[in-house]
A and B are shown apart, each in its own frame.
Chain A
Amino acid sequence: MPATPDATREIAALRDQIAVPHRTDRPVLPFGVAAIDDQLCRAGLAIDAIHDVAPASSRLSDDAAATLFVGGLAARLTGVHRRRQALWVLTRSDLYAPGLEQAGLTSDRVFFAEARDDAQALALAEDGVREGALGAVVVEVRRAPMVATRRLQLAAAEGGTPVLMLRRWRRAATCPLGELSAAVTRWRIGSTPSAPLGVPGVGRARWTVDLVRQRGGEPFSLIVEACDDQGRLALPAAARDRAAAPERAVARAA
């Protein structure tokens, strides 16, 4: 039976709806970097969802990069236009607040909760999210069962508060992103050599940003320059715009 024009239009509208799993009028936080935003299905980080961030390896330097990535996001989520506070749920106390401040998350915008274990950390995060008064909730966990992440995802959608789940490595060989999760996006962050300066010194840090999985979109992988003091990422300058690299990299160390 041939479809009437009305029915065709209706079906097309329905197809559009299911093509994007979430309503597109929900608020998002754009990264401000076209290369990232264009590849995210909602052109930014969904505010009412949870996002997994894991270090690329069990090395502490990658862990620090992932922490700064999360810190920069939290800084922008609690920034001027939202005027909210961030809750950072810790299980280990090696976070250094002056370093976070240099990613834009100043001490008057974040407060911490020290949890005994992962279960308590997740429960605290859920409490913080359900209240709906926070700008962002960061929770550092080693293990998060699927059920807990789904609860958190529901709470985040209800409270309109983003949850950034910083997953730390438990064993050297097992990536924490191997676990199932209800997160909308899952990121893997690692540190990578910075652009050589023409003079002795360390340049702006660079990270490898892998979007391992996103709901309704394709994974991608990029190298970006680390957060500035407002939490903003940037793309490395194209090769022709860079300063010429010196002959021997080791010479810069001296």
Chain B
Amino acid sequence: MPRHQRPPGRELGRRSEAASHPFKGRDATDGATQVAADQSPRHALAPLVLVTTAGQRQIVTAACPAARALGLMPGMAATQARALVPGLDVRPADTEADGAAIYRLALHAVRHWTPGAAPTVDGLLLDLTGAAHLFGGEARFCRRVVAFCRRLGLTARIAVADTLGAAHAVARHASGPVTVVPLGGAAATVAPLPVAALRLTPEAIAAAARFGLDRIGDLLPMPRAPLARRLGLAAVERLDQALGRVAEPIVAIVPFEAPAAERRLLEPIGTAEAIATVIADIVRDLVDALRQRGLGARTVELVATRVDGRDERQVIGMSRATRDGAHLRRMLCQRIERIDPGLGLEVVRLIAIRAEPLAATAIASALAGGDPATDLAVTVDRLAGRIGESALFRVRPVESDVPERAVARAGVLAPGGTWPAWKRPVRLLRRPEVLTNVVALLPDHPPRRFAWRGATHAVVAGDGPERIHGEWWRRDAEIDAIRDYYRVEDEAGARFWLFRRGDGVDPATGDLSWYMHGLFG
């Protein structure tokens, strides 16, 4: 039988072969639905396995308890599993989502359990040194973590040991969900476990099986040189790591902490000058903290705690990342009048809620001319501090011939654009105003006279028409609509932008009514 069709050794009855841990690659929600299904047997779900594609075949990487009860094991070929269990629910394993979930769990661990926590491919490493007593000892800590994971819908298996390697092996191969290996008992505990528990490469595991080395205990008495030659030097190092002969530090993840500065005041302060002084101090501290980490603040929150315990909060935003102390101070001082100090402020804290990397940038040479936008950000922040960011805008072009749709508001720091060079008025009425008493020749002459806002205008010169079609893709009513725009000048020198609905020939294009739409200077 070719090698890839051969059933795994476990099915052949060799029980010593490693079972990789069963819930690898399972989503937290899967566990939750499974629990729910167990409670209501009438709606029992089909057995579920997750598969990954290795080369040309699909391999089961995880199986739910129902599937395991039916004899499906991780490591099996997916086709074999389908053949054994009709109606099997087979889904692809999402390793990226698993990694993300483990990372989130690690972040939680760093924040709540111990500062030394690191995610691995299929588990979590926690450094309990000096942290376990905070939770009432290692055993209680483990029970607490198991309970926490159960609330999340996860089944956790935990081992506490002297070394990382031993803990890794025991967590995956011990019988109960929680195992606490006594101090110095690593060698004795891992000895009866299978060799695969040592995090060896598949080749090393296969070689060990070939030499009849089933358990870790078999490796212990062997001379190291032949062992290294047969299983590889890496395998010996793994063994040493498990037994504590070689150091294996945990590289803990570091969660992002917002840069902050704080002043606790001996006497409560209440005057604007005192608050400004404190703001100047904490801004200096915050700028130092930002500079050390190479960050610039985008959003800064000032939290002032009053004597009565209430927090006064002021948030300022910057249009681009900055650590310019004078600028931050000026923007915060603008907000002093909005802080109600009550009977006095005791603690003033400044937090850069949103910070972005801000490295040194080259200044454009004086010959090329500086980037005007760099200067602008400071001005924009100052203006935005007064009226809010939404009231500051730049006008950008929109690709539309309909005049009122050709402009849109954009952010101040956004690039501008240009419009086509057709003559356009500088003041555009918000809504076209209907003209009365219009005298005009059809189909394409500007009016000779018209009345608008109670005054009659006699036209002495006119240009046009500029025909603008309705945008049929927006509204049904615009399918045939046409506006004919004219630029006219009256006898007093006023220049208007008028339009007529319809092209003057086809009644479907408009009712030939006239409107005032804008004014040229």
Contacts and interface: CB of A to CB of B under 8 A. Distances in A.
Q: Do A and B bind each other?
A: yes
A96 B383 contact: no
Interface in B455-470: 458-463
A249 B494 CA distance: 15
Contact of B492 (A128, A131, A193, A203): A193
Given A97-B395, A201-B461, 15 more contacts: A60-B427, A64-B521, A83-B370, A87-B379, A94-B427, A95-B426, A127-B379, A127-B382, A127-B383, A191-B492, A193-B489, A200-B462, A205-B495, A226-B521, A250-B458
Given A111-B393, A250-B460, A134 B424 contact: no
Interface string A70-113: 01000000000001110100000111111111110011111111
Interface in A239-254: 249-250, 252-254
A89 B512 CA distance: 38
A66 B426 CA distance: 10
Given A115-B387, A124-B383, A100 B426 contact: yes
A196 interface: yes
A39 interface: no
A66 B521 contact: yes
Most buried by A among B418, B458, B459, B495: B495
A123 B378 CA distance: 17
A202 B376 contact: no
Nearest to A78: B372
B233 interface: no
Interface in B374-398: 375-376, 378-380, 382-383, 386-387, 391-397
11 contacts: A61-B492, A64-B425, A67-B521, A96-B426, A97-B419, A99-B426, A111-B392, A127-B379, A127-B386, A200-B463, A252-B460
Contacts of A87: 379, 383
Contact of A67 (B383, B386, B427, B493): B427
A83 B458 CA distance: 43
B379 A107 contact: no
B363 to A, nearest CB: 15
B393 A112 contact: yes
A131 B379 contact: yes
A113 B383 contact: yes
B494 A59 contact: yes
Interface of B: 369-370, 372, 375-376, 378-380, 382-383, 386-387, 391-397, 403, 406-407, 412, 415-419, 421, 423-430, 441, 445-446, 448, 458-463, 487-489, 491-496, 518-521
- Find the residue from A69, A100, A113 having the highest chain B CB count within 10 A: A113
A19 B419 CA distance: 47
A253 B446 contact: yes
A192 interface: yes
A56 B387 CA distance: 31
A166 to B, nearest CB: 11
A202 B416 contact: no
Given A61-B494, A69-B521, A252-B460, A99 B427 contact: yes
A106 B416 contact: yes
Q: Is the interface of A mostly helix, strand, loop or mixed?
A: mixed
A253 B395 contact: no
Interface residues of A, number: 67
Most buried by A among B369, B492, B494: B494
Interface in A105-151: 106-116, 120, 123-124, 127-128, 131, 133-134
A99 B428 contact: yes
B521 A128 contact: no
Contacts of A108: 394, 415-417
A167 interface: no
Given A98-B424, A254-B441, A202 B418 contact: no
B496 A61 contact: yes
Contacts of A192: 493
A103 B403 CA distance: 17
Contacts of A203: 461
A122 B289 CA distance: 37
A63 B491 contact: no
A116 B495 CA distance: 30
Contacts of B403: 96, 98
Nearest to B452: A60
B418 A120 contact: no
A37 to B, nearest CB: 21
A31 interface: no
A202 B392 contact: no
A134 B379 contact: yes
Nearest to B404: A96
Given A60-B519, A71-B426, A128-B379, A107 B489 contact: no
Contacts of A99: 424-428, 518, 520
Contacts of B391: 113-115
A253 B460 contact: yes
Contacts of B494: 59, 61-62, 191
A186 interface: no
Interface in A177-201: 190-194, 196-197, 200-201
A206 interface: yes
A131 B377 CA distance: 11
Contacts of A50: none
B459 A253 contact: yes
Contacts of B424: 96, 98-99, 101-102
A205 B521 contact: yes
Contact of B397 (A107, A206, A207): A107
Given A112-B395, A196-B461, A65 B521 contact: yes
Contact of A63 (B417, B421, B427): B427
Ranked nearest first, the 8 interchain pairs of A and B with the lowest CB-CB distance are A108-B416, A61-B494, A107-B416, A99-B426, A68-B521, A65-B521, A96-B428, A97-B395
B407 A98 contact: yes
A62 to B, nearest CB: 8
Contacts of A194: 461, 489, 493, 495
Contact of B392 (A59, A64, A112, A254): A112
Given A109-B416, A131-B378, A202-B488, A193 B493 contact: yes
Contacts of A83: 369-370, 372
Given A106-B416, A193-B493, A253-B446, A97 B463 contact: no
Nearest to B449: A253
Given A61-B495, A95-B426, A96-B427, A106 B418 contact: yes
Nearest to B369: A83
A73 B391 CA distance: 24
Given A59-B494, A100-B426, A101-B418, A113 B521 contact: no
A202 B485 CA distance: 14
Nearest to B519: A64
A94 B429 contact: yes
Nearest to A197: B461
Residue of A60, A194, A201 with most chain B CB atoms under a 10 A cut-off: A60
